[in-house]
Amino acid sequence: MRLVRLRPHADAAALGRMYGPAYANAGGADASVEDPKAPEEVLARLRTRPPGVFVDFGCGSGSLLAPARDLGWTAAGVEFDADVVRQAAARTGCAVFNGLEELRRSAVVPVDVIHLGDVVEHLTAPLDVLRVLVGLLRPTGWLLEVTAPVDWRRGASAIPDRDCTTEPTSVLEVRAETVL
């Protein structure tokens, strides 16, 4: 695997072009490879908490929003392309915000759980974004980061034509009260 550094970092407009409608709808083509958002793992963790506000940061098509809502959560998503935002909101009936600033100004804050499924490696300023996200959590809130699952035996990503090799899905769970 080759490490590529992008300088200058992509801004919100570039992220929107990189992760537009085609990218949001690309997952799930190969049923033998896990979904990069690890939905069952996330939903299992949501079932262990009393419902509150759930935000899927980098929600793509919004595939986790309706199941989270069905568990009693107020579900919202964040994406960086206006078309993806509109499509995910229409598909799910949930609020989907266009970027971090729109989320920060929304009525869903403070948040109980923020999920980043297959997201951190795509952020242009990950530490800055994570600091802001942790600041949006209630003191007892959780930040769930799920690594990009791959068929690590073949070194194949869950998204075709994507070069990455990692171990099977792992979840980093951070409680806001431990970092605030």
Q: In this predicted structure, what is the pLDDT of residue 127?
A: 85
Domains of the chain (ranges; CATH) run 12-26+34-178 (3.40.50.150)
Tens of pLDDT, residues 72-123: 999 999 999 999 999 999 999 999 999 999 999 999 999 999 999 878 777 7
Question: What average pLDDT does this structure show over 2-11?
Answer: 48
**142-166 mean pLDDT:** 51
Global pTM reads 0.72
CB 85 within 8 A of CB 96: yes
Question: Does residue 155 register a pLDDT over 50?
Answer: no
